[in-house]
Chain A
Amino acid sequence: MQTRANVELTIDGRAISVPQGATILDACARLGIATPTLCFLESLTPVNACRVCVVELEGARVLVPACARKAESGMVIRTDSERVRHSRKMVLEFLASSVDLSTAPDALRYCDEYGAQAQRYGSAAATVAQPVKIDNELYVRDYSKCILCYKCVEACGADAQNTFAIAAAGRGFDAAIATEYDVPLPDSACVYCGNCIGVCPTGALMFSSEHELRERGLWKEDEQTRTDTICSYCGVGCTLTLHVQDNDIVKVTSPVENGVTHGHLCVKGRFGYSYVQSRPENE
């Protein structure tokens, strides 16, 4: 295999060398510089949708997205300038003023870090609030919580599942993720792999089990255990992370860094666990 040449760049005054093809985000990670991301996931193609990872590139007119921009030799980058902090803060404020981020721990943490104050836009600020879509018994779609990061579209499409059940519909502030003609999921092409839930950073897409427990005030994430095991169905050997609360599986994920799954599962692995908890006390 051909070894790729390295590129040398400077980030926040520190020199760093990364393999050709690495992104600015990769380079930042090597230097231990924490960069906020919402629409980025290592298993998906970057779409530059959220702009929360932007950094200042010397000589560039506009801020550049760290997640997508490839590192180039001689780049001089600043990640903690006033301009960068201000831009990230504004992005987070706009999101927080229009979207319900209550189940988006990363976004909330970034808001804290960057001092984003969504409330300064007042109660009249436009929001994407709408009723939760509950049209099947496996997962719910709460687009009041959607930041339009496109991860679900990518996971449903060419980056993982190749089912193409969802896409962005509408324009501008009215843009939303929807099935074809906005039909209910059971009438769509959806195969319920739940890979959209797996990549959703805000809890807009959520297991019905989690949604119901949250509605009843019984979701206790602090008390949950997470155990990695192997799916009980076919011979692929997918790692499942079982999220267990009170001896019940309440959610199933898979580690994005897992070499077999890259975080993706099928309907049986993701949802087909109830047979191990159809106990008399659950009936």
Chain B
Amino acid sequence: MLRAIRKGAKLYVVDPRRTSSARWAQGWLGLDVGSDIALANAVGREILERGLENREFIEHATSGLEEYRATLAPYTLEYAQRVTGVPAQAIAELAAVYATAQRAQLCWTLGITEHHNAVDNVRALINLALLCGHVGRYGSGVNPLRGQNNVQGGGDMGAIPNKFPGGQDVEDAANTEKFEKAWNATLPRERGWNLTEMFAAMERGELDTLYVIGENPAQSEADQSHATALLRGLKHLIVQDIFLTRTGELADVVFPASASWCESEGTVTSSERRVQRCRKALEPPGEARDDISILCELARRLGHDWPQYSAQQAWDECRSLSPWHAGMSYERLDALGGIHWPCYDESHPGEQFLHARLWQEPLRGPRAPFAAVEHDPPVEALDDAYPIRLTTGRRLDSFNTGVQSGGYRSPLRRGETLDISVEDAARYGLSDGDEVRVSSRRGSVVLPVRIDPGLRAGLVFTTFHFNDAVATNVLTIDATDPQSGTAEFKACAVRIEPVRTAATA
């Protein structure tokens, strides 16, 4: 992005915090946490109001504009200013710049998706892309920036309750029959549970056995105490990981695994749909084994005659069943430095961007629908008892629960802090390093404060990188989006009580 800015691209940053990205931006829209739809709808309304929409594209490739337009009616600039805290003028500017750009992208991360209305947030942004025709063309698009090296690939490979590999729906009988034939097995006809639904099923007593591979839900789930209690209540818990994580400590059986990116072979898919090869550089320690080998061995113990697959054999089988990946031989992945899906055969170069069909004459396939979505504030409103908004996130040198990043000696690491605005620091009489107790309706933690001039009054920020020291997720709320199953890590209500000043510590 900085390279693009150097070439003249304009960057607008929409974030409750004035992040380091905001320093490079033409404009920073510091909206209130959870007011994204109000902002997006106001941008949409402004674009229509000023006649800046791409009528040709809308007519050619979309549906539902009139219903969308009707939904936008109340989202005036003044209303949006009131709800988001962003000046009307800045919203109008963003709308004009986005709509009149030759090419424009909307990029987002978890600030959009870690909300109880995550899917609606995303739809609100897609609406804007449809409104301006900023999709399906080189340099334009909607672009969720992935936070993990294979979160895209995991879903693409079917590690998701409703899809087979290659985005093929499990509730489409033709797909199920194809996979049944290839695997010589009977497959369920209905979609399974996502992570959130699994926890709900544990709560109802319908799920009593869990096999966790490469995830640490005992520390990564919102409302951590509750999640851990559910994991403890399982009849049987299997954990397969490269470390004995906190989740592993709760397990009945632990399968030590090799590190997927450097102790075994395979592929991962990056944020831009680029499938690339991981290669083995190290021998794994002790009894650790490749994930594929563990799964095959387990299948054999369960009485199935599975051969010993290599990573390449597993990949070639996937290619035979997933049209998206059909053309991606290991040889081609090596030669081309990765390939973007879909790649239908070995002469296909892979698609640089998606949705180009929306511009084709005549339009083939379904129209892209506008979605009428409404602003819906965070589940936990602020009140006198919990007057401060806590939003959680990450810092540059650390990663998620810190299992991977905790070990290297980063000079940037300061341990966990509660980042607090200059105004709130003054209000509570706090200086850098003073310890505070942060409490939500679900739990409390004690940690030092760091004054961050990039935060506005009433907003505090922390991470969950140092979970053993500060279990941030005991604070967060497990209000989840019914469609995506994502929890509202980005917004809960807390109160702050000074515990100890740094000077006396």
Contact = CB atoms under 8 A, between A and B. Distances in A.
A234 B281 contact: no
Interface stretch (B171-179, B271-279, B373-381): B271-279
B397 interface: yes
Contacts of B405: 233, 268, 272, 275
A277 interface: yes
Interface residues of A, number: 43
Nearest to A282: B285
B399 interface: yes
B262 interface: yes
Contacts of B285: 279
29 contacts: A136-B411, A192-B397, A192-B411, A227-B281, A229-B262, A230-B270, A231-B149, A233-B149, A237-B268, A237-B271, A239-B337, A247-B282, A248-B282, A249-B282, A258-B337, A266-B396, A268-B396, A271-B408, A271-B410, A272-B397, A272-B399, A272-B404, A272-B408, A272-B410, A274-B409, A276-B282, A277-B282, A278-B407, A279-B285
Interface stretch (B46-54, B69-77, B140-148, B495-503): B140-148
Contact of B149 (A232, A249, A276): A232
B145 A235 contact: yes
A236 interface: yes
Interface of B: 2, 6, 24, 145-149, 151-152, 242-243, 259-263, 268-272, 274, 276-283, 285-286, 337-338, 396-399, 403-412
A267 B149 contact: no
B262 A276 contact: yes
A227 B337 contact: no
Nearest to B337: A259
A275 B263 contact: no
Contacts of B286: 279
B148 A227 contact: no
B282 A237 contact: no
Contacts of B274: 237, 260
Contacts of B279: 227-229
A248 to B, nearest CB: 8
B443 to A, nearest CB: 28
Contact of B146 (A232, A235, A248, A271): A235
Contact of B276 (A237, A271, A273): A237
Interface of A: 136-138, 158, 162, 185-186, 190-192, 225, 227-237, 239, 242, 244, 247-249, 258-260, 266-268, 271-279
A229 B281 contact: yes
A233 B408 CA distance: 14
The 10 closest A-B pairs by CB, nearest first: A237-B270, A235-B146, A235-B271, A227-B281, A137-B409, A232-B261, A242-B281, A136-B411, A275-B407, A274-B408
A247 B288 CA distance: 15
Contact of B261 (A137, A231, A248): A231
Given A258-B337, A275-B406, A235 B412 contact: no
B408 A236 contact: no
A249 B404 CA distance: 15
A276 to B, nearest CB: 5
Contacts of B396: 191, 266-268
A268 B395 CA distance: 11
Q: Which of B260, B282, B404 has the most CB of A within 10 A?
A: B282
Given A227-B280, A230-B277, 18 more contacts: A136-B409, A137-B409, A227-B279, A229-B278, A229-B281, A230-B261, A232-B149, A233-B149, A237-B269, A242-B262, A242-B281, A249-B262, A260-B337, A273-B408, A276-B262, A276-B263, A277-B282, A279-B286
Q: Which of B152, B286, B397 has the most CB of A within 10 A?
A: B397
A277 to B, nearest CB: 7
Contacts of A266: 396
Nearest to B286: A279
Q: Which of A138, A190, A229, A275 has the most CB of B within 10 A?
A: A229
Contacts of B282: 242, 244, 247-249, 276-277
A225 B396 CA distance: 29
A237 B281 contact: no
A162 B6 CA distance: 10
Contact of B397 (A267, A276, A278, A279): A267
A58 B247 CA distance: 72
A239 B279 CA distance: 11
Contacts of A268: 396-399, 405
B404 A233 contact: yes
A232 B259 contact: yes
Contacts of A249: 262, 281-282
A192 B410 contact: yes
Given A137-B411, A138-B409, A276-B282, A232 B404 contact: yes
B412 A191 contact: yes
A217 B174 CA distance: 64
Contacts of B146: 234-235
B155 to A, nearest CB: 12
Contacts of A260: 270, 274, 337-338
A38 B277 CA distance: 32
Contacts of A276: 242, 259, 262-263, 282
A194 B322 CA distance: 39
B338 A275 contact: no
A235 B151 contact: yes
A138 B411 CA distance: 8
Nearest to B399: A233
Contacts of B259: 232, 276
Contact of B270 (A235, A272, A278): A235
Nearest to B263: A276
Contacts of B410: 138, 192, 267, 271-272
A237 B149 contact: yes
A183 to B, nearest CB: 13
A183 B445 CA distance: 35
A225 B262 CA distance: 13
Contacts of B407: 274-275, 278
Contacts of A192: 397, 410-412
A235 B152 contact: yes
A228 B281 CA distance: 8
A225 B412 contact: no
Contacts of A258: 337
Contact of A158 (B6, B281, B399): B6
Nearest to B242: A276
Contact of A235 (B2, B148, B277, B411): B148
A276 B407 CA distance: 9
A158 B285 CA distance: 41
A229 B2 contact: no
Contacts of B2: 162
Contacts of A158: 6
A275 B258 CA distance: 12
